Amino acid sequence: SIALSIKQLVKTYDNGFQALKGVDLDVKEGDFFALLGPNGAGKSTTIGVICSLVTKSAGKVSVFGYDIDTQFAEAKKQIGIVPQEFNFSQFETVRTIVVNQAGYYGLKKSIAVERTEKYLKQLGLWDKRDTPARMLSGGMKRRLMIARALIHEPRLLILDEPTAGVDIELRRSMWDFLREINAKGTTIILTTHYLEEAESLCRNVAIIDRGQIVENTSVKALLKTL
């Protein structure tokens, strides 16, 4: 089945700038997909629309068949989002931030506690569970956002530039973690401006430039053209 379908997506910001000029994109269930493009190409805008953080000007977006406008609640349950900026309270503890996210999805407390432990352990943050977020390193904060995004066990995980500013060693361990959850069936879409990241992680790739998809192919095929 199709995890994500985007049809003729247009976004014009309030200042009149057209950031997306009719984007079409399909991502299949189980895929590990890269949206690759230079800074300013429209990657974050696309992600913002999918998560309903940015209102689109035109077009249709559905997630596992759920329309993000007319079936918002169902669509939202399918998605876990790891934004670029840290958007959690710096004063709450690691554990609280993840457990509270579960409340946002209406999960039972016992399940929330169990999954929080599972994901914090998997991401190497269990020792930091009672630490306020402001005390964490940048890489730890990024892993915290991944744990938080997984709490409702979404079928689609979307990461916006997940390893920007992350050192090489941590980048590799984050890559391994993402490969593992993809192997267990989670569809993953990440945005990146590093070809290397798309190359080592992803199966399929779309290249976006100035608000338009200019290439949509397998990573293997893309590398042959370079």
Instruction: Give the nearest distance from C-beta 40 to ligand ADP in angstroms.
Output: 4
Instruction: Compute the residue count for the chain.
Output: 226
In the chain, DSSP assigns E strands to 2-12, 18-28, 32-36, 58-63, 66-67, 79-82, 156-160, 187-192, 204-209, 212-218
Nearer to ligand ADP among residue 165 and residue 220 (C-beta): 165
Other Cβ atoms less than 10 A from the Cβ of 184: the count is 7
40 binding ligand ADP? (CB under 6 A): yes
Q: Which stretch binds ligand ADP (CB under 6 A): 11-19, 117-125, 171-179, 194-202?
A: 11-19
Which listed residue (15, 55, 110, 225) binds ligand ADP by CB under 6 A?
A: 15
C-alpha R_g of the chain: 17
Is residue 81 a contact residue for ligand ADP (CB under 6 A)? Answer: yes
Nearest to 220 by CA among 192, 199, 194, 196: 199
Segment interacting with ligand ADP, rule: CB under 6 A, options 23-31, 36-44, 108-116, 178-186 = 36-44
Residue 97 one-letter amino acid: I
**Binding letters toward ligand ADP, positions 84-103, x by CB under 6 A:** ---x----------------
The least CB distance from residue 90 to ligand ADP, in Å, is 13
68 touches ligand ADP (CB under 6 A): no
Q: Check binding of 19 to ligand ADP (CB under 6 A).
A: yes
Q: How many CB atoms lie within 10 A of CB 196?
A: 9
User: Which amino acid does the sequence have at 112?
Assistant: A
How many Å is the maximal CA-CA distance in the chain?
51
Q: Which is nearer to ligand ADP, 13 or 127 (CB)?
A: 13
Which residue of 104, 114, 121, 176 would you call a contact of ligand ADP, by CB under 6 A?
Answer: 104
C-alpha distances out from residue 222 to 40, 149, 212, Å: 21, 30, 17
Name the residues that contact ligand ADP, by CB under 6 A: 13, 15, 17, 19, 37, 39-45, 51, 76, 79-81, 83, 87, 104, 149
